[in-house]
A and B are shown apart, each in its own frame.
Chain A
Amino acid sequence: MIPAGRQVAGEVCNECLVGLGVERIRQDFPALQVKVHGKPLVYLDNAATSQKPQVVIDRITRYYLSENSNIHRGVHFLSDLATQAYESTRDRLRQFLNAAHDREIIFTRGTTEGINLVAHSFGRSRVRAGDEIVISAMEHHSNIVPWQILCEEKGATLRVIPINDAGELLLEEYERLLCDRTRLVAVTYVSNALGTVNPVKPMIATAHRRGIPVLVDGAQAAPHLAVDVQDLDCDFYAFSGHKLYGPTGIGILYGKADLLESMPPYQGGGDMISAVTFERTLYNSLPYKFEAGTPHIAGVIGLGAAIEYVQRIGLPRIAAYEADLLAYGTELLSAIPGLRIIGTAREKASVLSFVLDGIHAHDTGTILDHEGIAIRAGHHCAMPVMKRFGVPATARASLAFYNTREELEALAKGLHKVIEVFA
């Protein structure tokens, strides 16, 4: 239950507009108070998943305590309550993305499922032998493998937009890759391994001039950038709730209504039908056509609370605060001898990926963990990126608006300790 007197940060005060009132905001996240190995947790693994504010935890608890029921199928009070909470979250998501219609918002398990839905439904019905799908060299495995599977099945070809040494897409190469065989461009907005923010809006315009639809992987963009899908004019946009301060197991696929209408269902089952006989089935209308079975109702409702929380603080303010943190972190890390930052794009968001001379990222991770500092060490589900930069793995600190300059100083101090151990 919501403790009496607890306020949501965004309601607090105007001076938060100046700083972000970060100390106040940290109070909203119970997990940030945890001690690790006897030290205060410094959580810098936000690109993997973010912590959850109390309002999200409370909202999920309240659903299970007093609203739990299945949706769209009961005439009773609770079912109606749950259905309203579920559908009003869809509308909140529509506003969040500035989509034109609620029915363009499909609830999924996460980014991965959203992309698989498009690969399965759009891909299987539109892609033929000899066709091409264009992705980029900085994609997460979830925006590579579904297209590989599709291409293999259809005899189509995967084309990859190359990147430069800073981790930026080569846009002339991109233009050159597009041709009359290209059926789809699938590209990430923000790279989880490098932090690069890609110029997706002009890239979408370029593809559209040739009539090619574009899917944007918004997994890393959603927590950092205010997105307007109509302004971007993307055809599909997928993201995960858990990186946006919401629960795991819930995500969104936005798709333009006319495209979604023309696509076959992804999974069959309850809710996605309007009438079933053994001879044939009439599919339900959007968005239900793509939401077979009982969904993650608590997850949807929890995600709604997370978005409400984020909207109160405001993504532009979050982005401004994080940009300052990123600049400070970059400065601190650059001063560490033997440290090389991987991903130095001009447009970056909240990710500091790096390698230390002669020290494996995994060892860096273990030693930092001992200081209570949580980072990620590995290939970040982007093995082609590691290969491009000739490293087996990187250490990655990824920032959220509840991180502080002091935490970055702790990271720098921890890294000096790592170097000491290996000296």
Chain B
Amino acid sequence: MSDLSDLYQQVILDHYKRPRNFRRLDEANRKAEGHNPLCGDEITVYLHLDGDVIKDISFEGAGCAISKASASMMTAALKGRTRGEAETLFEKFHEMVTGRRDGTADPAGLGKLEVFCGVSEFPVRVKCASLAWHTLRAALEGSGERVSTE
């Protein structure tokens, strides 16, 4: 049986209660809105892209513990990284939360984001964990469209 404490790890609860980079970013040159109609989660991701480098990143919005902590930890993980690195992290993150990670993947690359591995035991919560990332991708691609997990 999946264990609740695998999902609601202390780090996750901490990021939920005290989200990092939780503000509007005035210098942002990219932004995107994300929405999970199932549970009403809404998020805006702000990016300050300098060439290929994410100089700064922040988010705003309301959501459940998983989606908010995921957004918070994503912003912490991506500051100073390149677009390419962000894409790779998203892929790894997505494989992890959907439980499709094979033995050869390099879990170390995810660093602190590993705390979300418990999500794979809770399939209905995968969308919560990946909402911020999907929104980030939309911001990077500059599509300006509201992304939805549906």
Chain B 31-45 interface mask (CB, 8 Å, partner A; 1/0): 000000011111000
A422 vs B63: C-alpha distance when bound (angstroms): 15
CB-nearest residue of chain A to B5: A421
Contacting residues of chain B (1-60) with chain A, CB-CB under 8 angstroms: 1-2, 4, 7-8, 13, 17, 38-42
CB-nearest residue of chain A to B125: A366
Contact B4 A362, beta carbon cutoff 8 Å: no
Contact A362 B8, beta carbon cutoff 8 Å: no
A386 CB-CB contact with B under 8 Å: yes
Contact A379 B40, beta carbon cutoff 8 Å: yes
Select B13's contact among A38, A386, A422, beta carbons within 8 Å: A422
Select B1's contact among A37, A363, A377, A392, beta carbons within 8 Å: A37
Contact B63 A360, beta carbon cutoff 8 Å: yes
B132 CB-CB contact with A under 8 Å: no
Contact A392 B41, beta carbon cutoff 8 Å: yes
Select B38's contact among A366, A370, A378, beta carbons within 8 Å: A378
CB-nearest residue of chain A to B65: A363
Select A377's contact among B2, B8, B39, beta carbons within 8 Å: B39
CB neighbours (8 Å) of A383 from chain B are 40
A393 CB-CB contact with B under 8 Å: yes
CB neighbours (8 Å) of B42 from chain A are 392
CB neighbours (8 Å) of A359 from chain B are 65
A262 vs B121: C-alpha distance when bound (angstroms): 55
CB neighbours (8 Å) of B2 from chain A are 37
B64 CB-CB contact with A under 8 Å: yes
Contact-residue size bin, chain A (C-beta under 8 Å from the other chain): 20 to 34
Contact B4 A360, beta carbon cutoff 8 Å: no
A38 vs B17: C-alpha distance when bound (angstroms): 31
CB-nearest residue of chain A to B61: A392
For A37, A358, A386, A392, the residue with the greatest tally of chain B CB atoms inside 10 Å of its CB is A392
A370 vs B8: C-alpha distance when bound (angstroms): 12
Given contact pairs A37-B1, A366-B122, A366-B125, A361 touches B39 in the complex (Cβ within 8 A): yes
CB neighbours (8 Å) of B125 from chain A are 362, 366
CB neighbours (8 Å) of A370 from chain B are 4
Select A360's contact among B1, B13, B64, B124, beta carbons within 8 Å: B64
Contacting residues of chain A (364-423) with chain B, CB-CB under 8 angstroms: 366-367, 370, 377-379, 383, 386, 392-393, 421-422
Give chain A's interface residues, CB within 8 Å of chain B: 37-38, 358-363, 366-367, 370, 377-379, 383, 386, 392-393, 421-422
Give chain B's interface residues, CB within 8 Å of chain A: 1-2, 4, 7-8, 13, 17, 38-42, 62-66, 122, 124-125, 128
Enumerate 23 A-B pairs (CB-CB under 8 Å) in ascending A order: A37-B1, A360-B64, A360-B65, A362-B39, A362-B64, A362-B66, A362-B128, A363-B8, A363-B64, A363-B66, A366-B4, A366-B7, A367-B8, A370-B4, A378-B38, A379-B40, A392-B39, A392-B42, A392-B62, A393-B40, A421-B8, A421-B13, A422-B8
